[in-house]
């Protein structure tokens, strides 16, 4: 599987889980429980991008500006998650969850619309397949069972 398809599949899982967690009829404790797993998955997803995906792409100078923007978005999201873990107020936690859902969804969209089309033009298919294998290996080392 090429790296882009691999990442798209993870984005799909992330979006699906955010949609499930933000459902109104879910209790706060169930939301928090499911968020523990989702935030772990998100954390490892961004680490995977920052440790394997971006360093490989950065060799191409035409991709560097977009990558810088994406890393800034990832740092922001990580801060929000940290805040959520620290807050005891359920209302604030819920509001922040909605904001995070939107931010993460926009971030994934930025990757899909601003980065991937450029990558498809600039990087050879066989290199993308080799990178896909590395991403898969990283994921099996950092397994998180999302529903």
Q: How many chain residues bind Fe ion (CB under 5 A)?
A: 2
> What does the DSSP assignment read for 72-136?
HHHHHHHHHHHHHHH---HHHHHHHHHHHHHHHHHHHHHIIIIIHHHHHHHS-HHHHHHHHHHHH
User: What is the rounded CA–CA span in Å between residue 5 and residue 132?
Assistant: 8
Structure tokens at 143: 């397994």
Q: How far is the CB of 102 from Fe ion (least distance, A)?
A: 15
Q: Find, among 15, 54, 57, 44, the residue nearest to 137 by Cα.
A: 44
Which parts of 101-140 interact with Fe ion (CB under 5 A)? 111
Nearest CB to Fe ion, comparing residues 26 and 112: 112
Judged by CB, which is closer to Fe ion: 44, or 94?
44
Minimum CB distance to Fe ion, residue 131 (Å): 13
The piece of 41-49, 60-68, 94-102, 121-129 that touches Fe ion (CB under 5 A) is 41-49
Residues 48-67 within binding reach of Fe ion (CB under 5 A): 49
Question: Under the criterion CB under 5 A, does residue 2 sit at the interface with Fe ion?
Answer: no
Give per-residue burial for 95-106: e unless 16+ CB within 10 Å, then b.
ebbeebbeebee
Our CB check for Fe ion shows the closer of 2 and 111 to be 111
Nearer to Fe ion, 35 or 41 (CB): 41
Nearest distance from residue 130's CB to Fe ion, in Å? Answer: 19
CA distance 40 to 25: 23
41 binds Fe ion (CB under 5 A): no
Q: Using CA atoms, how far apart are residues 107 and 15, in angstroms rounded to an integer?
A: 11
Is the Cβ of residue 2 or residue 49 nearer to Fe ion in the bound state?
49
Q: Which residues bind Fe ion (CB under 5 A)?
A: 49, 111
């Amino acid at each position: 599987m090429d790296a882009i398809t691999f990442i798209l599949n993870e984005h799909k899982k992330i979006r699906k889980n955010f949609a499930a967690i933000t459902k109104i009829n879910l209790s706060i404790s169930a939301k928090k429980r499911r968020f523990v797993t989702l935030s772990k998955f998100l954390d490892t997803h961004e680490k995977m991008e920052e440790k394997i995906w971006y360093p490989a792409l950065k060799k191409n100078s035409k991709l560097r500006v977009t990558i810088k923007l994406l890393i800034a978005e990832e740092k922001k999201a990580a801060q929000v998650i940290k805040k959520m873990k620290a807050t005891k107020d359920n209302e604030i936690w819920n509001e922040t969850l909605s904001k995070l859902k939107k931010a993460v969804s926009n971030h994934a969209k930025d990757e899909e619309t601003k980065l991937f089309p450029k990558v498809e033009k600039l990087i050879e298919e066989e290199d993308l397949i080799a990178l896909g294998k590395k991403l898969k290996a990283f994921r099996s080392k950092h397994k998180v069972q999302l529903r």
